[in-house]
Amino acid sequence: LFSKPWVFIRGVPSLKFLPPEGPPEIAFAGRSNVGKSSLINALVGVNGLARTSNTPGRTQELNYFVPSGYSGDEGDLPPMALVDMPGYGYAKAPKDQVDLWTKLVFDYMRGRSTLKRVYLLIDSRHGLKKNDEGVMDLLDKAAMSYQVVLTKTDKIKAAGVPRLISETLSALKRRPAAYPEVIATSSEKGEGISELRTAIALAITL
Ligand code: GTP
Ligand code: MG
């Protein structure tokens, strides 16, 4: 899956532009600037494929990425798609705009039957915030499988990572749709990326 190049195929500004439900999809959710787009680039090994920025609010549509080499015709569909999403929470954009992005992301996560799992990204420096809890409430209610990924571990002391993992795990205990494993990653240093690839390859078969 991750040994061939990946390409961008579609930006979806509202639900009516979604591609027909087909291959399994894996989506990346999290607060603005948590590192969703950077993590996708690290997973597929293509720097700059998903656009990243230090300014929160960079990703503004549901952006679809697939392994290259598929026509997209019936019978030649890609094996899966990765979906980069706008962040929630604070962003350098008008509030109405941010509200629309949040609604798009929430409606997609609730209603997409081919969405196999949501990766919920949490900044290692900040931990779970109130709006992350809100997203988990929604995913639990929708019975949509999700797994927490800690990002930017290069920004904290290495010794703090195991404790952060176990704190996060205990916060997930009573959440029925949460996968009971947390993956710590750094897109910058490549930490946790192969582990995440393995988890995704398994999730699309479920
Ligand atoms: P939005 O699209 O705005 O919601 O943001 P995003 O979640 O896609 O974050 P993005 O990948 O654009 O990264 C935000 C900033 O964090 C960028 O300046 C990245 O370079 C930086 N960043 C992302 N991942 C890492 C990481 O693992 N380590 C470090 N040090 N910085 C990172
Ligand atoms: Mg982004």
Taking the centre of ligand 1 as the mean of its atom positions, its distance from the CA of residue 151, in whole angstroms, is 9
Q: Which residues line ligand 1 (CB under 6 A)?
A: 30, 32-38, 52-54, 56-59, 86-87, 151-152, 154-155, 186-188
Tell how many helices (H) and how many strands (E) occur in the chain. 5, 7
Is the pLDDT at 8 greater than 90, yes or no? yes
pLDDT in tens, 123-155: 999 999 999 999 999 999 999 999 999 999 999
SS (H, E, C) 36-77: HHHHHHHHHCCCCCCCCCCCCCCCCCEEEEEECCCCCCCCCC
HSE-CB of 159 using CA atoms within 13 angstroms: 0
Q: Which amino acid is at 97?
A: Q
Which ligand is located closest to the Cα atom of residue 101? Answer: 1
Q: Whose CA is nearest to atom 24 of ligand 1?
A: 35
pLDDT in tens, 158-178: 999 999 999 999 999 999 999
How confident is the model at residue 91, as a pLDDT? 82
HSE-CB of 33 using CA atoms within 13 angstroms: 10
Phi, psi for 38 (deg, rounded to 5): -60, -40
Q: What residues have CB less than 8 Å from 149, skipping those under 6 apart?
A: 39, 119, 120, 121, 122, 182, 183, 184, 185, 192, 196
Phi, psi for 83 (deg, rounded to 5): -120, 110
- For the chain, give the percent of residues with pLDDT over 90: 91
Taking the centre of ligand 1 as the mean of its atom positions, its distance from the CA of residue 106, in whole angstroms, is 21
Whether the CB-CB separation of 153 and 185 falls below 8 Å is answered with yes
What span, in angstroms and rounded, lies between the C-alpha atoms of 5 and 7? 7
Q: What residues have CB less than 8 Å from 206, skipping those under 6 apart?
A: 116, 117, 145
pLDDT mean across residues, the chain: 96
Domains contained in the chain, CATH given: 6-203 (3.40.50.300)
Q: How many residues does the chain have?
A: 206
pLDDT in tens, 11-44: 999 999 999 999 999 999 999 999 999 999 999 9
